[in-house]
Structure 1
Amino acid sequence: MIQCFVKKEYEAPFGLTQPPRLFSVSRTDEKASAHPRVMHAHDDLVEIVLVRGGESRYYVGGTPYDARRGDLFIFNSRVVHDEPSGPDRPVATVSLALGGLQVPGLRENTLIPADASPVCRLSEAQTIRLERLYDVLYDELTAGNDDGAHHLLMAILTLVQQFRGALAEGSAQDANVFAQRIKDYIDRHFAEEFSLQQMADALHVSPYYLAHVCKETTGYSPLQYVLRRRIGEAQTLLITTDLPVTRIAAQVGYDNPSHFNAQFSKAVGMSPRTFRREYVYHK
């Protein structure tokens, strides 16, 4: 018999004084990633995503980051992120979402400081350790063991805290101040009807300069950015609410449900109803 002893008193990860609430766990293989989770943000949830295979490029707060096996991404609440995988760049991931998180010194539902890199690159050994825990968490949650799943969440957070020392190359890039103003404007108004000229007037610049800065920093034109924000928000509503598709279409800025269905299908690769049916796991 080999007996292992605990060497120190238990300390909650990230200095937490109360456990957070596990919201969901997701597992996506490379085939399923052909239907991407488009640009979105969560008001009251943090997402922790581990890339298990494939390659892609994620956009976090408008900044691009390469994504491949062993990359651990943390998306704080209210941070817009885009995961534009597809048939030409399949990627396999496991992820979880949690709320009720209060890390000392940070705003609610924030796991890392705003100026910290959202990604760290793990070694193969670290990746295997973390994905094993994710797999157990997923299996326990789908089996209905919600209480056990919450305890496993704390184990994952402990590893995440340890692995944050293996930060990816460089820290988060300095944000272009004007580019952030563009993104903030679109994030506030994406469900409204407005033209490029109206946005340029509101930001006191020429439409050409606005379009150039937006494309340079986010990889999308302003109108493409608006479209992806709308579709991403629609995906969130489809997953987290029982609202009818027509109501969701109107809520994200589409008066014509048929136009919404066409835009959604083009961006995601399936209709809104099919996405809702296939994405959400029902116990």
Structure 2
Amino acid sequence: MGNVRYWLPGKGRGEIPAKLIYVSSSIYEGDWSSMRHSHNFAELFYVRSGRGNFIVENEIYPVKQDDLVIVNPNVEHTELSVSSDPLEYVVLGVEGMSFDFGDQSGSRNHEIINYRNQRDELFFYFNAMLRETENKEDNYEDICQNLLEVVVTILMRNSGHPILVVATQRVNKVCSRIKRYIDSNYSEEISLDYLAEKAHFSKYYLVHTFAKYYGMSPINYLIEVRLRASKELLETTDLSISQIAESTGFSSQSYFSQSFRRSCDLTPRDYRLLAKKSGSMTSGEMFNNSEKKS
């Protein structure tokens, strides 16, 4: 008699920061008008059979059997089928998390992975969740939640490149913390790599999520804060242009002047002259006047 025992390392149960909110099954048969939409939760589409296209924010991606499509929250998307080979898929709606795909483009908000080699495994979990929600037997919600954790863990392990799961609430807090750090330390040398290290995100994911909450990338926000500070110094001090550039964190006087002119269509020197002429006029009023002048 043979006996083999494998001990687990005892790290404890690592629950994902998410809740499964629905499971659905669809067959695209041409009688359904597909429209782009978005929502505040992630979706995972597993293609059981068929062929078609997935549209994510104006980009078209072909999909086929055993493709898994992951779409982050607040991303416009829809799916289109090939009439001769209609798409059939299972969809999971997952609240409270988003995915960091660690891509090199800086804008990745979705992922498509083919699981043909793990079809039996993934197909089983998706079908099991669908069956549990259809039958609604005792504790089916707990079973589905546990199966979701298994699926997400498989994604993180088998995607071919790092995929991180990030709690949506944590994303809010991290972006807010990065913003506060920039507000307090704008005069220091700050790079996107450094901010990503502080956030414990990939720099590409940080760019996307920060822009979603604040309307611009962290570096563009940093430049905006530096420009606001430089305007105040131009209005209230006699520091030279090069001194102001240095004290507000710009790498050179020429870069400061280029950024300043791009922002308000005036050179720093012209802005200072306008400030002196305006006397007690506020920075905002001067900026409005400068826009009218331009």
> Taking structure 1 as the reference length, what is the TM-score of the superposition?
0.48
Q: Which has the higher contact order (CA 8 A, sep 6+)?
A: 1
> Normalising by structure 2, what TM-score?
0.46
